[in-house]
Amino acid sequence: IISASHLSSPAKEPGKRPQNERELAHTEVLALQAACRLDDTPKGKRDGLMVSLAYHGALKTVDLISLTLDHIQFDPRTQKSGVLFKPAQAKRARRVPFSNEEMIALEDWLIVRGNEPGALFCEIGRADKVEIKRMTAAQVREICDLRAGESGVQPFEPNDLARSSPLSNKKTNGKSRTQ
């Protein structure tokens, strides 16, 4: 005879990845950024800038890990700095201006990273040594897991930051934000 006790749904395993896409609340993004600011290591500086650009610029993981120092440019027309890049499979380049907070985060990260050409977001090895080497999507996922745990945010996928962005087409139904 089989008892029904073993047929109950399994308990959620700690650290288990979510199955579905989700949008992060603005307060969750603020908590992630606060967790990064509390970490005064090079990883905290890198991760804070990464979370901010992913959310405010609606940048997907592939866009983040593809950015190089050459993508950081000053726009004389708007008098703002930002990233200018061509997303994967896009027809046109895209400009994402930096907010004041992102400019400060960028300056803090570049002090640690240095000005060597190469990937903007780099691996950080032992003894907090920055390696000018492009990060992988798996490393970005690990960063999201770490920062979610530190900030008390439910687990999320890295692309959920872009999906949650005020710039996301899903939120604006394809309409301009000024309409």
- CB 34 within 8 Å of CB 26: no
Residue 119 CA, distance from chain mean position: 15
In total, the chain counts a number of residues equal to: 179
Q: What is the largest CA-CA distance in the chain?
A: 77
Per-residue model confidence as pLDDT tens digits over 88-129: 778 898 899 999 999 999 999 999 999 999 999 999 998 999
Residue ranges in the chain modelled with pLDDT below 70: 1-19, 169-179
What's the pLDDT at 178? 34
What's the pLDDT at 16? 52
Tokens for 64, please give them. 């983040």
Task: Name the nearest CA neighbour of 160 among 179, 136, 141.
Answer: 141
User: What are the backbone angles phi and psi of residue 33, rounded to the nearest 5°?
Assistant: -65, -40
d(CA 111, CA 100): 17
Residue 160 CA, distance from chain mean position: 9
Q: Which residues of 21-38 are buried (b: 16+ CB within 10 A; e: fewer)?
A: eeebeeebbebbbebbee
State the pTM of this model.
0.81
The H or E element that residue 94 is part of is strand 94-97
With a CB cutoff of 8 Å and minimum separation 6, the contacts of 101 are 52
What's the pLDDT at 65? 95
